[in-house]
Amino acid sequence: MAAILEFVRSESAVFDPETVQVLASALDDAWARIEKAGSRLARPAYSRVMREVVAKRIIEMAQHGVTDQEKLAADAVRFISANYVENYSAKIESRKDRAIRLKPVGTVTGLSA
């Protein structure tokens, strides 16, 4: 629960103790799903920042009136999937396509005229 409290305070949101407990449980649930999926975003290099993103998304949704733990966790996982995982894949594909287009065709190196 301490993890979510850090972000609740930074977002200057006011939640009653029961709601804070729901938010903390939603954060734990969402993070467990991300880890279970084997996401590279759960790796130590990314985990601190990504947990913060998940926590802030959960808080944002709670500020909009969503207080169901399951809905908060599911939304946070969808948010991460849509905004981080898929965008990363799209960037990789874009780089591959660009590299293929930029590769000179018919160029021979090491020959002198």
pLDDT at 39: 87
pLDDT digits (tens, 9 = 90+) for 35-61: 999 888 899 999 999 999 999 999 999
- Model confidence pLDDT, tens digit, residues 63-88: 999 999 999 999 999 999 989 865 55
Higher-scoring residue by pLDDT: 96, 78: 78
DSSP secondary structure letters along 42-97: GSHHHHHHHHHHHHHHHHHHHHTT---HHHHHHHHHHHHIIIIIHHHHHHHHHHHH
Contact 76, 37 (CB under 8 A): no
The reported pTM is 0.69
Q: pLDDT tens-digit profile of 2-11? A: 567 666 655 5
Q: What is the mean pLDDT of residues 99-108?
A: 50
**What does the pLDDT read at residue 107?**
45
The token duo for 40 is 């590279």
Q: Is 21 exposed, middle or buried (CB count within 10 Å of its CB: 0-12, 13-18, 19+)? A: middle
Nearest residue to 58 via CA among 45, 77, 84: 77
Tell me what pLDDT residue 10 has: 54
Helix or strand holding residue 29 (H, E): helix 17-36
Instruction: Count the neighbouring beta carbons within 10 Å of the beta carbon of residue 113.
Output: 2
